[in-house]
Amino acid sequence: MATAGTARGPYRTGRATRKQIVDEAVRVFGSSGYNGGSLRSIAERVGVSPGTINRHFASKEDLLNAVLERWSEDVATAIDESSQVGISVLHALRAGMAYHEEHPHLLSLFLLTATEAGAGDHPGRPFMRTRYSDLLGRYEESLRRAVQDGEIAPLDEASIAFEARAIVAFADGIEIQYLLAPDFSLVGAFDDYWERCLQRWGARHTA
């Protein structure tokens, strides 16, 4: 009969292999996209057979979901906006820019998947739709709170919705430009944009 000690060894090995698979899938999907990236190429990078991947993940779609969850968790940890309110929630996007600048393969993964997800049958579409919906909702609520707390001048609901979308559009757009020509600082670009936002909103103080 296996003891607790002998059971933990294979379990640890399995977890390590699963992590390696996700790590390499991030790079393959980030460079070739979901459609262009094959399980075989991921397996080769890990040093296992495609069958090993199938033992850890029910399907290629299942692996993509694990990859996107990894990206989401890593970025959320970098931003850490859980205790922030008002415009500081939006300013936390700066930390996300810094994280992507340090991890361009994760930035490539996100942008390529978001682009591919424009196709209705792409398995990453539900994740991306939920992410953007949640993000816009969070930014809109943060702007309402900022108005309520007197951080910024009053904004009507149409303006709040516009400003939330504008920030997201700026972030995605500047990151695409950075991937194409990384000869500038994402954080510096965000700082410049943020100062213009504060001026436009009539901010009482900076975040």
Tens of each residue's pLDDT in the chain, 207 residues: 444 444 466 666 788 999 999 999 999 999 999 999 999 999 999 999 999 999 999 999 999 999 999 999 999 999 887 668 899 999 999 999 999 999 999 999 999 999 999 988 999 999 999 999 999 999 999 999 999 999 999 999 999 999 999 999 999 999 999 999 999 999 999 999 999 999 999 998 654
Residue-wise pLDDT for 111-129, tens only, equals 999 999 998 899 999 999 9
- Which tokens hold the place of 45? 């990078």
- Domains, in order of start, for the chain: 4-201 (1.10.357.10)
Q: Please give the Cα distance from 78 to 27 (Å, whole number).
A: 19
Would you say 171 and 193 are in contact if contact means Cβ atoms under 8 Å apart?
no
97, two tokens: 């820019």
Reduce the DSSP state of residue 191 to 3 states and report it: helix
For residue 200, the SS3 value is helix
pLDDT of residue 80: 83
Distance CA 187, CA 93 (A): 9
DSSP state of 103: -
Among candidate residues 76, 89, 83, the one with its CA nearest the CA of residue 146: 89
The helix/strand count (H/E) of the chain reads as 10, 0
**132: its two tokens:** 């953007």
- What confidence tens digit (pLDDT) does each residue in 53-63 have? 999 999 999 99
Burial of 100: CB neighbours in 10 Å, binned 0-12, 13-18, 19+: buried
